[in-house]
Structure 1
Amino acid sequence: MNIILLTAEDLTGDTCAEIRDQRRCQHILSVHQAQVGERIRAGLLNGNMGSGIMTTLQPDLIIIEDLIFDEPPPPDLPLFLVMALPRPKMLKRVLQTVSTLGVKKLVLMNSYRVEKSYWQTPLLEPESIREHLILGLEQARDTQLPEVILEKRFKPFVEDRLPALIAQTRALVAHPYSETPCPTGLTEATSLAIGPEGGFIPWEIEQLEACGFEGVHLGKRIMRVETAVPFLLARLFH
Protein backbone atom coordinates (compact mmCIF):
# COMPACT_ATOMS: atom_id res chain seq x y z
CA MET A 1 0.00 0.00 0.00
CA ASN A 2 1.99 2.98 -1.29
CA ILE A 3 -1.05 5.24 -1.01
CA ILE A 4 -3.99 5.07 1.40
CA LEU A 5 -6.97 4.91 -0.90
CA LEU A 6 -10.14 6.41 0.53
CA THR A 7 -13.69 6.05 -0.74
CA ALA A 8 -16.59 8.47 -0.49
CA GLU A 9 -17.99 6.26 2.29
CA ASP A 10 -14.85 6.86 4.38
CA LEU A 11 -15.30 10.64 4.35
CA THR A 12 -16.96 12.20 7.38
CA GLY A 13 -16.46 15.76 6.18
CA ASP A 14 -14.65 17.74 3.52
CA THR A 15 -11.25 17.20 5.17
CA CYS A 16 -11.76 14.18 7.45
CA ALA A 17 -12.03 10.41 6.92
CA GLU A 18 -12.49 7.33 9.10
CA ILE A 19 -11.09 3.92 8.14
CA ARG A 20 -12.70 0.97 9.89
CA ASP A 21 -11.96 -2.11 7.76
CA GLN A 22 -9.39 -4.54 9.13
CA ARG A 23 -7.19 -4.79 6.04
CA ARG A 24 -6.35 -1.11 5.75
CA CYS A 25 -6.12 -0.54 9.51
CA GLN A 26 -3.72 -3.43 9.96
CA HIS A 27 -1.56 -2.34 7.02
CA ILE A 28 -1.32 1.25 8.21
CA LEU A 29 -0.38 0.15 11.72
CA SER A 30 1.96 -2.76 10.99
CA VAL A 31 3.51 -1.92 7.60
CA HIS A 32 3.37 1.88 7.43
CA GLN A 33 3.93 2.06 11.21
CA ALA A 34 2.20 5.42 11.06
CA GLN A 35 2.39 7.80 14.01
CA VAL A 36 -0.18 10.26 15.32
CA GLY A 37 0.54 13.66 13.81
CA GLU A 38 2.24 12.19 10.75
CA ARG A 39 1.15 13.44 7.32
CA ILE A 40 0.68 10.52 4.94
CA ARG A 41 -0.08 10.16 1.23
CA ALA A 42 -3.75 9.55 0.50
CA GLY A 43 -6.05 9.48 -2.50
CA LEU A 44 -9.76 9.54 -3.18
CA LEU A 45 -11.00 6.65 -5.29
CA ASN A 46 -11.75 7.99 -8.78
CA GLY A 47 -10.57 11.40 -7.63
CA ASN A 48 -7.33 13.24 -6.92
CA MET A 49 -4.38 12.35 -4.73
CA GLY A 50 -2.98 14.31 -1.81
CA SER A 51 -2.28 13.83 1.88
CA GLY A 52 -3.72 13.97 5.38
CA ILE A 53 -2.68 13.92 9.03
CA MET A 54 -3.14 10.85 11.24
CA THR A 55 -5.04 11.82 14.39
CA THR A 56 -6.34 8.46 15.65
CA LEU A 57 -4.59 5.10 15.28
CA GLN A 58 -6.47 2.09 16.66
CA PRO A 59 -6.73 -1.52 15.39
CA ASP A 60 -10.33 -0.94 14.29
CA LEU A 61 -10.42 2.83 13.70
CA ILE A 62 -8.04 5.20 11.96
CA ILE A 63 -8.96 8.86 11.58
CA ILE A 64 -7.25 11.10 9.04
CA GLU A 65 -7.80 14.87 9.18
CA ASP A 66 -6.68 17.94 7.23
CA LEU A 67 -7.12 16.01 3.99
CA ILE A 68 -6.06 17.79 0.83
CA PHE A 69 -6.65 16.25 -2.60
CA ASP A 70 -4.70 18.54 -4.90
CA GLU A 71 -2.70 16.23 -7.18
CA PRO A 72 -3.95 14.48 -10.31
CA PRO A 73 -3.39 10.71 -10.56
CA PRO A 74 -0.72 9.37 -12.94
CA PRO A 75 -1.71 9.23 -16.62
CA ASP A 76 -3.60 6.20 -17.89
CA LEU A 77 -1.97 3.70 -20.19
CA PRO A 78 -3.43 4.27 -23.71
CA LEU A 79 -4.48 0.63 -23.89
CA PHE A 80 -7.70 -1.34 -24.19
CA LEU A 81 -6.88 -4.87 -23.03
CA VAL A 82 -8.80 -7.98 -24.12
CA MET A 83 -7.84 -11.22 -22.38
CA ALA A 84 -9.06 -14.77 -22.41
CA LEU A 85 -10.16 -15.52 -18.84
CA PRO A 86 -7.12 -16.84 -16.90
CA ARG A 87 -7.38 -19.69 -14.44
CA PRO A 88 -8.58 -18.42 -11.04
CA LYS A 89 -5.23 -18.70 -9.27
CA MET A 90 -3.69 -16.47 -11.93
CA LEU A 91 -6.66 -14.09 -12.21
CA LYS A 92 -5.93 -12.36 -8.91
CA ARG A 93 -2.39 -11.52 -9.94
CA VAL A 94 -3.42 -10.42 -13.43
CA LEU A 95 -6.06 -8.02 -12.09
CA GLN A 96 -3.58 -6.45 -9.70
CA THR A 97 -0.91 -6.21 -12.40
CA VAL A 98 -3.06 -4.47 -15.02
CA SER A 99 -4.39 -2.07 -12.38
CA THR A 100 -0.84 -1.26 -11.23
CA LEU A 101 0.36 -0.65 -14.79
CA GLY A 102 -2.42 1.81 -15.63
CA VAL A 103 -4.84 -0.20 -17.78
CA LYS A 104 -8.28 1.37 -17.41
CA LYS A 105 -10.46 -0.92 -19.55
CA LEU A 106 -10.21 -4.71 -19.50
CA VAL A 107 -12.40 -7.36 -21.11
CA LEU A 108 -12.19 -10.92 -19.83
CA MET A 109 -13.63 -13.17 -22.52
CA ASN A 110 -14.21 -16.80 -23.28
CA SER A 111 -11.98 -18.86 -25.55
CA TYR A 112 -11.85 -22.49 -26.66
CA ARG A 113 -9.05 -23.24 -24.19
CA VAL A 114 -10.76 -21.51 -21.25
CA GLU A 115 -12.25 -24.20 -19.01
CA LYS A 116 -15.94 -23.71 -18.24
CA SER A 117 -15.25 -24.04 -14.52
CA TYR A 118 -13.22 -20.81 -14.60
CA TRP A 119 -16.43 -18.83 -15.06
CA GLN A 120 -17.80 -20.21 -11.78
CA THR A 121 -15.04 -18.79 -9.59
CA PRO A 122 -16.14 -16.37 -6.86
CA LEU A 123 -13.19 -14.20 -7.93
CA LEU A 124 -15.41 -12.90 -10.74
CA GLU A 125 -17.90 -11.44 -8.28
CA PRO A 126 -17.87 -7.62 -8.58
CA GLU A 127 -16.61 -7.10 -5.02
CA SER A 128 -13.73 -9.52 -5.52
CA ILE A 129 -12.69 -7.90 -8.81
CA ARG A 130 -12.86 -4.49 -7.16
CA GLU A 131 -10.71 -5.66 -4.23
CA HIS A 132 -7.86 -6.83 -6.45
CA LEU A 133 -8.04 -3.76 -8.67
CA ILE A 134 -7.77 -1.54 -5.58
CA LEU A 135 -4.73 -3.48 -4.38
CA GLY A 136 -3.11 -2.68 -7.72
CA LEU A 137 -4.01 1.01 -7.42
CA GLU A 138 -2.56 1.19 -3.90
CA GLN A 139 0.68 -0.31 -5.17
CA ALA A 140 0.95 2.18 -8.06
CA ARG A 141 -0.21 5.31 -6.21
CA ASP A 142 -3.19 5.63 -8.52
CA THR A 143 -6.84 6.41 -7.81
CA GLN A 144 -8.69 5.66 -11.06
CA LEU A 145 -10.51 2.31 -10.86
CA PRO A 146 -10.33 0.27 -14.08
CA GLU A 147 -13.48 -0.99 -15.81
CA VAL A 148 -13.74 -4.77 -16.17
CA ILE A 149 -16.22 -6.35 -18.61
CA LEU A 150 -17.03 -10.08 -18.72
CA GLU A 151 -17.82 -11.65 -22.10
CA LYS A 152 -18.77 -15.33 -21.87
CA ARG A 153 -19.35 -15.93 -25.59
CA PHE A 154 -16.43 -15.47 -27.98
CA LYS A 155 -18.13 -15.31 -31.37
CA PRO A 156 -20.93 -12.78 -30.63
CA PHE A 157 -18.50 -10.56 -28.76
CA VAL A 158 -15.84 -10.53 -31.49
CA GLU A 159 -18.32 -10.15 -34.33
CA ASP A 160 -20.86 -7.76 -32.82
CA ARG A 161 -19.22 -5.65 -30.08
CA LEU A 162 -15.45 -5.78 -30.37
CA PRO A 163 -15.13 -3.83 -33.67
CA ALA A 164 -16.64 -0.73 -32.08
CA LEU A 165 -14.44 -1.07 -29.00
CA ILE A 166 -11.19 -1.13 -31.01
CA ALA A 167 -12.17 1.59 -33.47
CA GLN A 168 -9.57 4.36 -33.76
CA THR A 169 -6.90 2.19 -32.11
CA ARG A 170 -4.03 0.06 -33.34
CA ALA A 171 -5.26 -3.48 -32.64
CA LEU A 172 -2.71 -6.20 -31.87
CA VAL A 173 -3.13 -9.84 -30.85
CA ALA A 174 -0.24 -11.59 -29.12
CA HIS A 175 0.30 -14.89 -30.91
CA PRO A 176 3.58 -16.87 -30.85
CA TYR A 177 3.16 -18.13 -34.43
CA SER A 178 2.64 -14.77 -36.10
CA GLU A 179 5.36 -13.36 -38.36
CA THR A 180 5.51 -9.80 -37.00
CA PRO A 181 7.59 -8.93 -33.92
CA CYS A 182 5.79 -7.01 -31.21
CA PRO A 183 6.32 -3.25 -31.73
CA THR A 184 7.89 -1.04 -29.07
CA GLY A 185 7.58 2.51 -27.83
CA LEU A 186 3.98 3.10 -28.91
CA THR A 187 2.27 6.37 -28.04
CA GLU A 188 -0.94 5.87 -30.00
CA ALA A 189 -4.16 4.38 -28.60
CA THR A 190 -3.78 0.61 -28.73
CA SER A 191 -5.94 -2.48 -28.31
CA LEU A 192 -4.24 -5.70 -27.27
CA ALA A 193 -5.69 -9.23 -27.19
CA ILE A 194 -3.98 -11.94 -25.13
CA GLY A 195 -5.03 -15.57 -25.27
CA PRO A 196 -5.28 -18.27 -22.60
CA GLU A 197 -2.60 -20.75 -21.57
CA GLY A 198 -1.79 -22.48 -24.87
CA GLY A 199 -2.89 -19.46 -26.91
CA PHE A 200 -5.88 -18.79 -29.13
CA ILE A 201 -6.76 -21.59 -31.54
CA PRO A 202 -6.30 -20.83 -35.28
CA TRP A 203 -10.02 -20.15 -35.84
CA GLU A 204 -10.02 -17.57 -33.05
CA ILE A 205 -6.97 -15.86 -34.52
CA GLU A 206 -8.76 -15.72 -37.87
CA GLN A 207 -11.81 -14.13 -36.23
CA LEU A 208 -9.69 -11.54 -34.43
CA GLU A 209 -7.78 -10.70 -37.60
CA ALA A 210 -11.07 -10.32 -39.48
CA CYS A 211 -12.11 -7.91 -36.71
CA GLY A 212 -9.01 -5.79 -37.36
CA PHE A 213 -6.28 -7.26 -35.15
CA GLU A 214 -2.69 -7.74 -36.32
CA GLY A 215 -0.79 -10.75 -34.98
CA VAL A 216 2.51 -10.06 -33.19
CA HIS A 217 4.97 -12.28 -31.34
CA LEU A 218 7.48 -11.95 -28.51
CA GLY A 219 10.05 -14.37 -29.84
CA LYS A 220 10.43 -18.12 -29.51
CA ARG A 221 9.83 -18.39 -25.77
CA ILE A 222 6.32 -19.31 -24.63
CA MET A 223 5.31 -17.42 -21.48
CA ARG A 224 2.67 -17.84 -18.85
CA VAL A 225 -0.12 -15.27 -19.08
CA GLU A 226 0.93 -13.63 -15.81
CA THR A 227 4.43 -13.15 -17.29
CA ALA A 228 3.28 -12.14 -20.77
CA VAL A 229 1.00 -9.34 -19.55
CA PRO A 230 3.66 -7.11 -17.90
CA PHE A 231 6.22 -8.08 -20.56
CA LEU A 232 3.91 -7.00 -23.39
CA LEU A 233 2.83 -3.76 -21.71
CA ALA A 234 6.42 -2.78 -20.89
CA ARG A 235 7.53 -3.54 -24.45
CA LEU A 236 4.64 -1.71 -26.10
CA PHE A 237 4.84 1.45 -23.99
CA HIS A 238 8.41 1.63 -22.61
Structure 2
Amino acid sequence: MNLIILFESDFTDSVTAVLDDRRFTHIYNVQKPTPGDRLKVGLLNGNIGSGEIISLSDNKIALRVDLTYSPPAELPLTLLLALPRPKMLKRVLQTVSAMGVKKLYLINSYRVDKSYWGSPVLERQVNEHLLLGLEQAGDTVMPEVHLRKRFKPFVEDELPTIAAESRALLAHPYNATPCPAPEDKPTTLAIGPEGGFIPYEVEKLNQCGFESIHIGERILRVETAVPALLSRLFPI
Protein backbone atom coordinates (compact mmCIF):
# COMPACT_ATOMS: atom_id res chain seq x y z
CA MET A 1 0.00 0.00 0.00
CA ASN A 2 1.92 3.02 -1.31
CA LEU A 3 -0.93 5.43 -0.62
CA ILE A 4 -3.56 5.30 2.12
CA ILE A 5 -6.81 6.34 0.48
CA LEU A 6 -9.25 8.15 2.74
CA PHE A 7 -13.01 8.50 2.35
CA GLU A 8 -15.19 11.41 3.39
CA SER A 9 -16.77 9.11 5.99
CA ASP A 10 -13.38 8.70 7.73
CA PHE A 11 -13.30 12.35 8.82
CA THR A 12 -14.52 13.37 12.26
CA ASP A 13 -13.82 17.03 11.43
CA SER A 14 -12.26 18.93 8.55
CA VAL A 15 -8.69 17.74 9.24
CA THR A 16 -8.97 14.58 11.37
CA ALA A 17 -9.50 11.08 9.97
CA VAL A 18 -9.91 7.89 12.01
CA LEU A 19 -9.25 4.45 10.53
CA ASP A 20 -10.20 1.10 12.05
CA ASP A 21 -10.47 -1.27 9.04
CA ARG A 22 -7.99 -3.06 6.76
CA ARG A 23 -6.09 0.19 6.26
CA PHE A 24 -5.47 0.41 9.99
CA THR A 25 -4.38 -3.24 10.04
CA HIS A 26 -1.86 -2.62 7.27
CA ILE A 27 -0.50 0.53 8.90
CA TYR A 28 -0.26 -1.11 12.33
CA ASN A 29 1.30 -4.42 11.22
CA VAL A 30 3.41 -3.40 8.23
CA GLN A 31 4.41 0.22 8.65
CA LYS A 32 4.58 0.05 12.46
CA PRO A 33 4.40 3.82 13.00
CA THR A 34 4.43 5.85 16.18
CA PRO A 35 2.57 9.08 17.06
CA GLY A 36 4.10 12.01 15.20
CA ASP A 37 5.01 9.98 12.12
CA ARG A 38 3.63 11.09 8.78
CA LEU A 39 2.01 8.77 6.26
CA LYS A 40 1.21 9.39 2.61
CA VAL A 41 -2.54 9.74 2.25
CA GLY A 42 -5.04 10.87 -0.36
CA LEU A 43 -8.75 11.58 -0.46
CA LEU A 44 -10.72 9.41 -2.88
CA ASN A 45 -11.22 11.47 -6.05
CA GLY A 46 -9.34 14.31 -4.38
CA ASN A 47 -5.88 15.57 -3.49
CA ILE A 48 -2.87 13.81 -2.00
CA GLY A 49 -0.81 14.84 1.01
CA SER A 50 0.25 13.59 4.43
CA GLY A 51 -1.43 12.30 7.55
CA GLU A 52 0.32 12.96 10.87
CA ILE A 53 -0.45 10.29 13.46
CA ILE A 54 -2.01 12.00 16.46
CA SER A 55 -3.13 8.84 18.28
CA LEU A 56 -2.67 5.10 17.88
CA SER A 57 -4.25 2.18 19.73
CA ASP A 58 -4.66 -1.55 19.15
CA ASN A 59 -7.78 -1.02 17.06
CA LYS A 60 -7.68 2.41 15.44
CA ILE A 61 -5.51 5.27 14.31
CA ALA A 62 -6.21 9.00 14.11
CA LEU A 63 -4.52 11.22 11.53
CA ARG A 64 -4.25 14.97 11.12
CA VAL A 65 -4.60 15.31 7.35
CA ASP A 66 -3.06 17.89 5.04
CA LEU A 67 -3.90 17.41 1.33
CA THR A 68 -1.75 19.67 -0.80
CA TYR A 69 -1.22 18.34 -4.33
CA SER A 70 -3.08 16.76 -7.20
CA PRO A 71 -3.05 13.06 -8.13
CA PRO A 72 -1.05 11.82 -11.14
CA ALA A 73 -2.31 12.66 -14.61
CA GLU A 74 -4.66 10.12 -16.13
CA LEU A 75 -4.02 8.30 -19.39
CA PRO A 76 -5.99 9.84 -22.27
CA LEU A 77 -7.51 6.43 -22.91
CA THR A 78 -10.90 4.77 -23.13
CA LEU A 79 -10.36 1.02 -22.82
CA LEU A 80 -12.85 -1.47 -24.26
CA LEU A 81 -12.20 -4.89 -22.79
CA ALA A 82 -14.07 -8.09 -23.55
CA LEU A 83 -15.09 -9.34 -20.12
CA PRO A 84 -12.34 -11.70 -18.84
CA ARG A 85 -12.92 -14.72 -16.61
CA PRO A 86 -13.37 -13.66 -12.98
CA LYS A 87 -9.92 -14.57 -11.67
CA MET A 88 -8.26 -12.65 -14.48
CA LEU A 89 -10.68 -9.75 -14.12
CA LYS A 90 -9.40 -9.10 -10.60
CA ARG A 91 -5.84 -8.70 -11.83
CA VAL A 92 -6.81 -6.66 -14.88
CA LEU A 93 -8.86 -4.21 -12.82
CA GLN A 94 -5.91 -3.60 -10.51
CA THR A 95 -3.55 -3.18 -13.48
CA VAL A 96 -5.66 -0.68 -15.43
CA SER A 97 -6.33 1.32 -12.27
CA ALA A 98 -2.63 1.43 -11.38
CA MET A 99 -1.67 2.50 -14.90
CA GLY A 100 -4.00 5.49 -14.97
CA VAL A 101 -6.93 4.25 -17.05
CA LYS A 102 -10.05 6.20 -16.04
CA LYS A 103 -12.64 4.99 -18.55
CA LEU A 104 -13.22 1.26 -18.88
CA TYR A 105 -15.97 -0.51 -20.80
CA LEU A 106 -16.39 -4.22 -20.10
CA ILE A 107 -18.12 -5.55 -23.19
CA ASN A 108 -19.54 -8.79 -24.45
CA SER A 109 -18.09 -10.98 -27.17
CA TYR A 110 -18.92 -14.34 -28.73
CA ARG A 111 -16.08 -15.95 -26.76
CA VAL A 112 -17.11 -14.42 -23.40
CA ASP A 113 -18.77 -17.12 -21.30
CA LYS A 114 -22.26 -16.02 -20.21
CA SER A 115 -21.53 -17.07 -16.63
CA TYR A 116 -18.89 -14.33 -16.32
CA TRP A 117 -21.61 -11.67 -16.22
CA GLY A 118 -22.96 -13.14 -12.99
CA SER A 119 -19.65 -13.50 -11.15
CA PRO A 120 -19.31 -12.06 -7.63
CA VAL A 121 -16.26 -10.11 -8.80
CA LEU A 122 -18.33 -8.19 -11.34
CA GLU A 123 -21.36 -7.76 -9.10
CA ARG A 124 -19.68 -6.71 -5.85
CA GLN A 125 -15.89 -6.45 -6.04
CA VAL A 126 -15.05 -4.13 -8.96
CA ASN A 127 -14.38 -1.05 -6.82
CA GLU A 128 -12.39 -3.10 -4.32
CA HIS A 129 -9.88 -4.16 -6.97
CA LEU A 130 -9.77 -0.73 -8.58
CA LEU A 131 -8.96 0.70 -5.16
CA LEU A 132 -6.06 -1.73 -4.73
CA GLY A 133 -4.64 -0.46 -8.02
CA LEU A 134 -4.94 3.15 -6.87
CA GLU A 135 -3.18 2.34 -3.59
CA GLN A 136 -0.35 0.68 -5.49
CA ALA A 137 0.15 3.57 -7.92
CA GLY A 138 -0.36 6.45 -5.50
CA ASP A 139 -3.48 7.71 -7.25
CA THR A 140 -6.87 8.74 -5.88
CA VAL A 141 -9.18 9.05 -8.89
CA MET A 142 -11.49 6.04 -9.22
CA PRO A 143 -11.93 4.80 -12.81
CA GLU A 144 -15.39 4.76 -14.38
CA VAL A 145 -16.50 1.23 -15.28
CA HIS A 146 -19.36 0.63 -17.72
CA LEU A 147 -20.91 -2.77 -18.48
CA ARG A 148 -22.22 -3.54 -21.96
CA LYS A 149 -23.73 -7.02 -22.33
CA ARG A 150 -24.75 -6.68 -25.99
CA PHE A 151 -21.94 -6.29 -28.50
CA LYS A 152 -23.74 -5.18 -31.66
CA PRO A 153 -25.93 -2.42 -30.15
CA PHE A 154 -22.94 -1.07 -28.26
CA VAL A 155 -20.70 -0.93 -31.33
CA GLU A 156 -23.36 0.49 -33.62
CA ASP A 157 -25.12 2.92 -31.29
CA GLU A 158 -22.58 4.09 -28.69
CA LEU A 159 -19.07 3.40 -29.88
CA PRO A 160 -18.93 5.97 -32.72
CA THR A 161 -19.53 8.74 -30.19
CA ILE A 162 -17.17 7.24 -27.59
CA ALA A 163 -14.31 6.92 -30.09
CA ALA A 164 -14.91 10.22 -31.88
CA GLU A 165 -11.80 12.41 -32.26
CA SER A 166 -9.49 9.74 -30.87
CA ARG A 167 -7.12 7.25 -32.45
CA ALA A 168 -9.27 4.11 -32.49
CA LEU A 169 -7.22 0.92 -32.20
CA LEU A 170 -8.11 -2.77 -32.06
CA ALA A 171 -5.55 -5.15 -30.56
CA HIS A 172 -5.76 -8.09 -32.94
CA PRO A 173 -2.88 -10.41 -33.87
CA TYR A 174 -4.06 -11.24 -37.41
CA ASN A 175 -4.05 -9.06 -40.54
CA ALA A 176 -2.94 -6.13 -38.44
CA THR A 177 -0.32 -3.39 -38.63
CA PRO A 178 2.44 -2.92 -36.04
CA CYS A 179 1.58 -0.95 -32.92
CA PRO A 180 2.04 2.79 -33.52
CA ALA A 181 4.65 4.86 -31.71
CA PRO A 182 3.85 6.17 -28.22
CA GLU A 183 1.80 9.36 -28.21
CA ASP A 184 0.10 11.23 -25.41
CA LYS A 185 -3.13 11.69 -27.37
CA PRO A 186 -6.77 10.62 -26.92
CA THR A 187 -7.08 6.93 -27.72
CA THR A 188 -9.83 4.32 -27.74
CA LEU A 189 -8.40 0.80 -27.48
CA ALA A 190 -10.35 -2.45 -27.87
CA ILE A 191 -8.92 -5.71 -26.49
CA GLY A 192 -10.67 -9.00 -27.09
CA PRO A 193 -11.21 -12.10 -24.96
CA GLU A 194 -8.97 -15.16 -24.69
CA GLY A 195 -8.88 -16.40 -28.28
CA GLY A 196 -9.60 -12.93 -29.65
CA PHE A 197 -12.62 -11.32 -31.25
CA ILE A 198 -14.32 -13.44 -33.92
CA PRO A 199 -14.13 -12.18 -37.56
CA TYR A 200 -17.63 -10.67 -37.40
CA GLU A 201 -16.68 -8.61 -34.34
CA VAL A 202 -13.41 -7.50 -35.91
CA GLU A 203 -15.30 -6.41 -39.02
CA LYS A 204 -17.82 -4.42 -36.97
CA LEU A 205 -15.03 -2.65 -35.09
CA ASN A 206 -13.14 -1.94 -38.31
CA GLN A 207 -16.33 -0.47 -39.80
CA CYS A 208 -16.52 1.77 -36.74
CA GLY A 209 -13.10 3.17 -37.61
CA PHE A 210 -10.86 0.94 -35.49
CA GLU A 211 -7.46 0.07 -36.95
CA SER A 212 -6.25 -3.46 -36.19
CA ILE A 213 -2.79 -3.46 -34.60
CA HIS A 214 -0.43 -6.03 -33.11
CA ILE A 215 2.60 -5.96 -30.81
CA GLY A 216 4.41 -8.95 -32.28
CA GLU A 217 3.98 -12.58 -33.20
CA ARG A 218 3.33 -13.83 -29.67
CA ILE A 219 -0.25 -14.36 -28.51
CA LEU A 220 -0.56 -12.93 -25.00
CA ARG A 221 -3.04 -13.44 -22.22
CA VAL A 222 -5.31 -10.46 -21.59
CA GLU A 223 -3.64 -9.68 -18.26
CA THR A 224 -0.28 -9.48 -20.07
CA ALA A 225 -1.55 -7.77 -23.20
CA VAL A 226 -3.11 -4.85 -21.31
CA PRO A 227 0.08 -3.47 -19.68
CA ALA A 228 2.14 -4.35 -22.76
CA LEU A 229 -0.16 -2.36 -25.03
CA LEU A 230 -0.46 0.61 -22.71
CA SER A 231 3.30 0.85 -22.31
CA ARG A 232 3.72 0.77 -26.10
CA LEU A 233 0.97 3.28 -26.89
CA PHE A 234 1.75 5.95 -24.30
CA PRO A 235 5.00 7.54 -23.00
CA ILE A 236 4.39 6.09 -19.52
Which interval holds the TM-score relative to the shorter structure? over 0.9
Q: 1:162, CA displacement in angstroms? A: 1.0
1:45 aligned onto 2:44:
yes
TM-score using structure 2 length? 0.97
Aligned to 1:58: 57
Indicate if the aligned counterparts of 1:82 and 1:107 stay in contact, CA closer than 8 A. yes
Among candidates 138, 145, 152, match of residue 149 of structure 2: 152
Question: What pairs with 1:74-153 in structure 2 (closer than 5 Å)?
Answer: 74-125=72-123, 127-153=124-150
Q: 1:179, CA displacement in angstroms? A: 2.9
Measured in 1, the distance between the counterparts of 2:59 and 2:186 equals: 44
Q: 1:185, CA displacement in angstroms? A: 1.3
1:18 aligned onto 2:18:
yes
How well do the aligned residues superpose, as a CA RMSD in angstroms?
1.0
Q: Secondary structure at the match of 1:46?
A: coil
| Residues 128 and 58 (structure 1), Cα distance of their counterparts in 2 relative to 1, 3 Å cut | farther
Measured in 2, the distance between the counterparts of 1:52 and 1:215 equals: 47
Q: 1:178, CA displacement in angstroms? A: 2.8
Q: What fraction of aligned residue pairs are identical, expressed as a percent? A: 59
- Structure 1: give runs of 5+ residues left out of the alignment: none
Q: 1:12, CA displacement in angstroms? A: 1.1
Aligned to 1:217: 214
Measured in 2, the distance between the counterparts of 1:179 and 1:156 equals: 25
- What whole-Å deviation, never above 9, does each CA across 1:160-197 have from its counterpart, x for those lacking one? 11111111110000000033101121111000000000
Measured in 2, the distance between the counterparts of 1:82 and 1:59 equals: 44
- Structure 2: give runs of 5+ residues left out of the alignment: none
- What whole-Å deviation, never above 9, does each CA across 1:93-136 have from its counterpart, x for those lacking one? 000000000000000000000001111101112x4111111100
Aligned to 1:206: 203
Indicate if the aligned counterparts of 1:90 and 1:226 stay in contact, CA closer than 8 A. yes
| Residues 128 and 178 (structure 1), Cα distance of their counterparts in 2 relative to 1, 3 Å cut | same
Measured in 1, the distance between the counterparts of 2:213 and 2:36 equals: 53
Measured in 2, the distance between the counterparts of 1:32 and 1:210 equals: 53
Aligned to 2:225: 228
Q: 1:62, CA displacement in angstroms? A: 1.5
1:70 aligned onto 2:52:
no
Paired residue total: 235
Q: 1:35, CA displacement in angstroms? A: 1.9
